[in-house]
Amino acid sequence: MNIVLWIIAAVLAVLFLGVGLMKLIQPKEKLVASGLGWAENYRPETVKIIGGLEVLAAVGLILPALLDIAPVLVPLAALGLVITMVGAIVVHGRRREYPRLAANVVLLVLSAVVAWGRFGPYSF
């Protein structure tokens, strides 16, 4: 199970690092044009904050355990992603963006599995 948790954490880290950097680097208008329609309802600063939190969570899923420095940050990062995905589910549900809603549910479940595993029976 430990290997499965590492794989899930790595997949989540790569994914959230990519989308987080995209939100940090690209202007809001370009994000909206590329399919992130929800961003038009938020200030550019808010979109950047969300992107920054996603990047921090991606780093927090891997580096603390890899470097054996404060590995308790791994389940905390996963818990942060669970909270982020709850927010995303609410936003996409209100906008009736059902394909994105389904993806957010999958990411929430994967993040919850990592948080459960690293807080519980497979902690570092």
Cα–Cα distances (Å) from 87 to 5, 50, 83, 94, 122, in that order, read 23, 11, 6, 11, 27
Residue-wise pLDDT for 25-58, tens only, equals 999 999 999 999 999 999 999 999 999 999 999 9
pLDDT value for 124: 76
| 37-45, Cβ contacts within 8 angstroms, sequence gap of 24 or more | 37/95, 37/97, 38/91, 38/92, 38/95, 38/97
CA–CA dist 37, 34 (Å, integer)? 8
CA–CA dist 40, 51 (Å, integer)? 15
* Sequence letter at residue 89: I
∠ CA 17-4-75, nearest 5°, is: 55
Predicted TM-score (pTM) of the model is 0.92
* Sequence letter at residue 41: N
Residue-wise pLDDT for 58-112, tens only, equals 999 999 999 999 999 999 999 999 999 999 999 999 999 998 899 999 999 999 9
